[in-house]
């Protein structure tokens, strides 16, 4: 699933994966920046709580965004694939200036939204300039290829990750969330070892990657983003590995980026600011 094409004269909106557990009350720097991008007090933000099994998730985020002073926030209770066909919900998405995907279970999110008119509306809206943020599961589903599961640990292995199709808001990227808190380096390395086409990014909690239409990733928040650049990968043993075998990877680059640092997905160059 690839990003929707940008029409002539228009500019793609930001794609903003958040590592989960973002500060919503004390110092919500990530959500404040998202709101500012979406128009400040005039922002119209649509919340999609599909990944969550909790009925209060959507209304809770409505309150969070309203407390930040925006004009309108609306939660769309999309809980079935029939819901994801709703013309009413599609209209709400098309009228928004920002879309927020909550956390929960990314497979619930993908199995309900995948291939539906609502998913198509999200991609079209982003291509037309609407900013899309997602936290935890809502971040995991953003790329073309989504990490659906895998064991914790620092070492990659043959069974280290399960992949599934994502929303396709951005390609050439695969990401993982709750990264250092849940010790997920091994599964991100496993995902990158399958194909060095994609840069891997691991996002800590209360940390976000603000990815602009120019492909530059800006780190915001309290934690780090780990970037695994496989562009100079010389060797991967994944193809020969047996079930559970550790993997040899030679030639990877790794960057640790804190708030204010940047990484260009097009040139694969990192900078401190």
Q: Is residue 136 flagged as an active site residue?
A: yes
Q: Is residue 131 flagged as an active site residue?
A: no
In order of 159, 183, 229, the CA distances from 151 in angstroms are 8, 9, 22
**Candidates 62, 158, 205, 255; catalytic one:** 205
Phi, psi torsion values for 61, nearest 5 degrees: -70, -30
CA distance 248 to 241: 9
CB 49 within 8 A of CB 102: yes
**Candidates 52, 75, 96, 136; catalytic one:** 136
**Candidates 131, 145, 178, 255; catalytic one:** 178
206-243: buried (b, 16+ CB within 10 Å) or exposed (e) per residue?
bbbbbbbeeebbbbbbbbbbbbbbbeebeebebeebee
Residues annotated catalytic, as ranges = 136, 178, 205
């Amino acid at each position: 699933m690839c990003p929707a094409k940008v029409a002539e004269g228009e500019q793609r909106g930001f794609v903003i994966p958040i590592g989960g557990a973002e500060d919503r009350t004390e110092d919500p720097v990530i959500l404040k920046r998202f709101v500012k991008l979406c128009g400040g007090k005039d922002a119209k933000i649509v919340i999609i709580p599909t990944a969550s099994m909790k009925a209060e998730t959507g209304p809770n985020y409505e309150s969070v965004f309203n407390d930040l002073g925006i004009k309108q926030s609306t939660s769309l209770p999309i809980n079935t694939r029939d819901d994801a066909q709703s013309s009413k919900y599609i209209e709400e998405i098309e009228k928004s200036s920002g879309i927020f995907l909550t956390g929960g279970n990314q497979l619930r999110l993908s199995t309900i939204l995948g291939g539906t008119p609502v998913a198509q509306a999200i991609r079209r809206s982003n291509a037309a300039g609407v900013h899309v943020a997602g936290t935890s599961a809502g971040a995991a589903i953003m790329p073309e290829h989504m990490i659906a599961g895998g064991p914790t640990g620092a070492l990659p292995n043959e069974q280290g990750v399960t992949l599934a199709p994502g929303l396709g808001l951005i390609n050439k990227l695969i990401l993982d969330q709750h990264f250092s808190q849940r010790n997920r380096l091994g599964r991100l390395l496993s995902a990158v070892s399958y194909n060095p086409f994609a840069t891997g990014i691991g996002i800590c909690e209360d940390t976000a990657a603000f990815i602009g239409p120019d492909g530059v990733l800006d780190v915001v928040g309290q934690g780090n983003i780990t970037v695994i650049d496989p562009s100079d990968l010389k060797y991967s043993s994944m193809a020969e590995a047996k079930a559970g075998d550790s993997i040899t990877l030679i030639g990877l680059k790794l960057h640790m980026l804190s708030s204010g640092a940047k990484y260009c997905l097009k040139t694969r160059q990192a900078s401190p600011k």
